[in-house]
Amino acid sequence: MLKFLVYRVATIVPVLLGVSIVVFLMMKLIPGDPAEAILGPAATTEKIEMVRKSLGLDRPFYVQYVRWLWKVVQGDFGTSIAVNVPVAQLVWPKFWNTVLLTAGSLVICIVVGLGVGIVSGTRQYSWFDRISMSLTLVVANTPAFWLGLILMVVLALYLGWFPATGMYSMRASEKTVADLIHHMVLPAITTASVSAAIIARLVRSSFLDVIRKHYITALRAKGLSERDIILRHGMKNALPPIINIVGLQVGYLMGGALFTEVVFSWPGIGLQIYSSIVARDLPVVQAAVLVTTFVFVLVNLGTDVVVAALDPRIRRA
């Protein structure tokens, strides 16, 4: 297990380096000169040269990269072009808002996905199974931004059950958890929708798989109740692929949250990326993508380790 852990941690180092190179190059490949972008079209050639020099743009690529990476490792992502504050200052609070939204969606994903999947998987071809599987097929193919709009129309605008946008009420004097959750319900459902449907389908098929195994009959012959068989033995055996897909979905949620954040004006990193793209504030986009991807890689690492820890065949190796 320790060997596996060390090996798995070692593999992410080159991946993260590669990610940083890609993100760095992505900004280099954009049409136009960043110095010009900062100064605007009216700038003189001399002034542009000066800014280029101060940004290190006159140096070779690899020097620029190493310098940039060195700063990034220290948490310095440069300065925002649009609002002229350090990027890190701009990105971190937004990032935490996205983490909140992702966590909320994940809870929905796991509860709905596991619940629907287990019931469907243990009652194949029942009415519940048929209806929920048709529904998950539709939901898995529903664009999140569209679902967000529909939920907003029905539950926020017509019924008024939930606020349509934002993270906290404007009028509220204090930021309370209850207010936050009230605001989070619609965005979280929207973000979770596709992943919950995918998880439900996978949980179902992995339960169908397990429930057909010989050892399930052997457990019945031992006198165990169906509930014990499903929750103790079925669950433990079906869990590794489920955790795997849930881990993957975390990345999807963090990425997919972008659409939700735009629709519901949730002040997260996705909305930040979106508005920075519109404002062509690329250092912010760069930092936001880098931070999110970094977390995504770590989540995948964590998932692999948990799956390995659950599987005695790997754990003993």
Partner 1 sequence: MSVVNLPVKEEPLDGRGLPLDAAEAQMFRRPSEWRIFWEAFSRDRLAVGAAVLIGLVCLVSLLAPVLAPYDPTVGDNALRLAPVGTPGHPLGLDGQGRDILSRLIWGGQVSIIIALLPVTVASLISVLLGLVAGFFGGKVDMVIMRALDVFFAFPAVLLAVAIAGVLGPGMLNVMLSLTIVLIPYISRVAYMATVTVKSELFVDQARVSGARPSQILFHHILPNTLSPVIVYGSTLVGILIVLGAGLSFLGLGITPPRPDWGIMCSDGRNFLSVAPHVSAVPGIMLILVAMSFNIVGDGLRDALDPKLRK
Partner 2 sequence: MSPAVSDALLEVDDLHTHFHLKNKTVRAVNGVSFAIKRGEIVGIAGESGAGKSVACLSILRLVPSPGRIERGRILFSGEDLLTKSDRQMRDLRGQTVSMVFEDPLNSLDPAYTVGSLIGEALILHKGLSRREARTKAGELLRLVGIPDPERRLDNYAHELSGGMQQRVMIAIALSCDPALLIADNPTTALDVTIQIQILDLVKQLRDRLGMGVLWITHDLGVVAKLCDRVVIMYAGEVMEQGRVYDVLKHPRHPYTRRLIDALPKLGRPDQRLLPIEGRPPDPANLPAGCPFAPRCHRARPECETGEVPLVETGDGRAVRCLFPEE
Range 27-46, binding partner 1 (CB under 8 A)? 27, 29-31
Q: Is 172 in the site for partner 2 (CB under 8 A)?
A: no
Q: State the DSSP H helix or E strand holding residue 266, giving kind and residue range, or none if neither.
A: none
Q: Is 32 in the site for partner 2 (CB under 8 A)?
A: no
Exactly one of 73, 138, 159, 221 binds partner 1 (CB under 8 A); that residue is 138
Residues contacting 309, CB < 8 A, separation 6+: 1, 315
Site for partner 2 (CB under 8 A): how many residues?
A: 19
Q: Is 312 in the site for partner 2 (CB under 8 A)?
A: yes
Q: Is 223 in the site for partner 2 (CB under 8 A)?
A: yes
Spatial distance between the Cα atoms of 199 and 36, rounded to a whole number of angstroms: 47
- Closest Cα partner for 34 from 88, 86, 78? 78
Q: Is 130 in the site for partner 2 (CB under 8 A)?
A: no
**Would you give the end-to-end CA distance of the chain in angstroms?**
6
Exactly one of 217, 231, 298, 317 binds partner 2 (CB under 8 A); that residue is 217
Cβ atoms of residues 165 and 281 within 8 Å: no
Tokens 């605007």 locate to 40
Exactly one of 19, 57, 307, 309 binds partner 1 (CB under 8 A); that residue is 19
Q: Is 160 helix (H, G, I), strand (E, B) or coil?
A: coil
Q: Is 222 in the site for partner 2 (CB under 8 A)?
A: yes
Q: Is 237 in the site for partner 2 (CB under 8 A)?
A: yes
Q: Is 236 in the site for partner 2 (CB under 8 A)?
A: yes
Residues contacting 201, CB < 8 A, separation 6+: 117, 133, 136, 137, 140
Q: Which is nearer to partner 1, 50 or 149 (CB)?
A: 149
Number of H helices, E strands in the chain: 14, 0
Ramachandran assignment for 43, one of left (phi > 0), alpha (psi -120 to 50 degrees), beta (any other): beta
Cβ atoms of residues 47 and 54 within 8 Å: no
Exactly one of 45, 74, 141, 173 binds partner 1 (CB under 8 A); that residue is 141
Exactly one of 6, 107, 143, 228 binds partner 1 (CB under 8 A); that residue is 143
Q: Residue 293 carries which DSSP code?
A: H
Q: Which is nearer to partner 1, 50 or 164 (CB)?
A: 164
Q: By CB under 8 A, name the binding residues for partner 2.
A: 213-215, 217-225, 233, 236-237, 310, 312-313, 316
Q: By CB under 8 A, name the binding residues for partner 1.
A: 14-16, 18-19, 21-22, 26-27, 29-31, 137-138, 140-146, 149-150, 152-153, 157-158, 251-252, 254-256, 258-259, 262-263, 273-274, 277-278, 282, 285, 289, 292-293, 296-297, 300
